[in-house]
Amino acid sequence: MKFCSNCAQPVSLSVPAGDHLPRFVCAACGTIHYETPRIIAGCVIEHEGKLLLCKRAIEPRHGFWTTPAGFMENGESVQHAAAREAMEEALAHVRIGSLLAIVNVIRAHQVHIMFRATLIEPSFGIGPESLESRLYAEEEIPWPEIAFLSVEFGLRRYLEDRRLGREQLHFRDIDWRDGKAILTDGHSQ
């Protein structure tokens, strides 16, 4: 950030009084600009035992498979955002179910929130951000072509829970050190 969105004057990075982290602060009007993580909402969609995946038509990870997900917009709930992303990416009308996973992607300043979902109607298609969409049986999932670690985590936890007849909430932190992913997992009852 270079300029204040409040008064258009230059900002500088400093620790404001009473805070403990550096923030962008405007010397002209005193506005403190907080940068907070962005929320990614998505869902693992099941229909007749198969999971709906989309091949990405956009960067990052163009040409790789993912579950429908994207940035949450102001004025919508996380569940609504997940359902909207399913429509945008796969033309799929879904019923959002229980919360599946929360993945903190530390370096990207993102929190990925994934739900379980089912198709309301047995139809789907290809939205503008997708090259292809398809239902996969568990043994058909193209694991080496999954776009993101968070998506792989959500898919694997979904399938594990389905095999065990449960619906747990799972957590993962993803960070990088020396070019390698550092993964920390957890779950709640």
Average the pLDDT over 160-180 and give the result. 94
What total of structural domains would you count in the chain?
2
Are 92 and 4 within one domain?
A: no
Q: Is the pLDDT of residue 189 over 60?
A: no
CA–CA dist 114, 150 (Å, integer): 9
Query: Residue 137 above 70 pLDDT?
Result: yes
CATH code, 27: 2.20.70.10
Write the CATH number for 140: 3.90.79.10
Residues 49 and 125 in one domain: yes
Pair (11, 75) in one structural domain: no
Mean pLDDT (whole number) for 83-102: 98
Domain that holds residue 62: 38-188
Res. 82: pLDDT tops 90 = yes
pLDDT at 187 over 70: no
Query: Looking at residues 27-32, what average pLDDT do you find?
Result: 95
Q: Are residues 93 and 16 located together in one domain of the fold? A: no
> Are 22 and 43 members of one domain?
no
pLDDT at 38 (0 to 100): 96
